Amino acid sequence: MNTVTTANTTVTLNEGQFSRRSAFDWLFAALVVGGGLFAFQRYASFMDVYEKGILLAAIPSLIALGWFWRPLRALMLVVAGAALLGIALYQVDGQGQLARAESVFWLKYFLSSQSAILWMSMLFFMSTAFYWIGMASRGEGATMSMLGSRLAWVAVGMALIGSMVRWYESYLVGADVGHIPVSNLYEVFVMFAWMTALFYLYFEEHYRTRALGAFVMLVVSASVGFLLWYTVAREAQEIQPLVPALKSWWMKLHVPANFIGYGTFALSAMVAFAYLIKQQATETSWTRLAPLGILGLVLCFEPIVFRPSAGAAGSGFWMVYFGLSVLAVGGILYGRRHIAAKLPPLELLDDLMYKSIAVGFAFFTIATVLGALWAAEAWGGYWSWDPKETWALIVWLNYAAWLHMRMMKGLRGTVSAWWALVGLVVTTFAFLGVNMFLSGLHSYGEL
- pLDDT tens digits for range 330-359: 888 888 898 999 999 999 999 999 999 999
Are 269 and 219 a contacting pair, CB within 8 Å?
yes
Q: In angstroms, how far is the first alpha carbon of the chain from the final one?
A: 56
Give the model's confidence band at 447: pLDDT under 50 very low, under 70 low, under 90 confident, else very high.
Answer: low
> Do 196 and 428 form a contact (C-beta atoms < 8 A)?
no
Confidence of residue 307 (pLDDT cuts 50, 70, 90): very low
Mean pLDDT of 281-298: 63
pLDDT of 325 > 90? The answer is no
Identify whether the C-beta of residue 199 lies closer than 8 Å to the C-beta of residue 264.
Answer: yes
Residue 15, burial from CB neighbour count under 10 angstroms (0-12, 13-18, 19+): exposed
pLDDT score for 306: 47
Given pLDDT bands bounded at 50, 70 and 90, which one contains residue 420?
A: very high
DSSP state of 15: P
pLDDT band per the 50, 70, 90 thresholds, residue 153: very high
Binned at pLDDT 50, 70 and 90, residue 443 comes out as low
Cα 431 from Cα 438, distance rounded (Å):
12
Give the torsion sign (CA, 300, 356, 279, 335). positive
Sign of CA dihedral 347, 348, 350, 351: positive
Instruction: Identify the pLDDT of residue 156.
Output: 98
Q: Span 376-401, mean pLDDT? A: 90
| For residue 446, pLDDT beyond 60 | no
Task: Please tell me the predicted confidence (pLDDT) of residue 363.
Answer: 97
Helix axes 142-173, 71-89, angle to 10 degrees: 40
The single-letter code of the amino acid at 398 is: N
Spatial distance between the Cα atoms of 297 and 331, rounded to a whole number of angstroms = 13
The confidence score (pLDDT) of residue 333 equals 82
> pLDDT value at position 296?
62
Please provide residue 178's backbone torsions phi and psi, each rounded to the nearest 5 degrees. -55, 135
Residue 444 pLDDT level (bands cut at 50, 70, 90): low
The count of C-alpha atoms lying within 13 angstroms of the C-alpha of 260, restricted to the half-sphere facing its C-beta, is 15
Q: Which residues pair with 441 in a beta bridge?
A: none
**Tens digits of residue pLDDT in 178-228:** 889 998 889 999 999 999 999 999 999 999 999 999 999 999 999 999 899
User: Is the confidence at residue 315, as pLDDT, over 70?
Assistant: no
Most confidently predicted of 293-297, 312-316, 355-359? 355-359
Q: What is the tens place of the pLDDT at every residue in 101-152?
A: 999 999 999 999 999 999 999 999 999 999 999 998 876 668 999 999 999 9
pLDDT, position 244: 82
Summarised one tens digit per residue, pLDDT across range 167-180 is 999 999 988 888 89
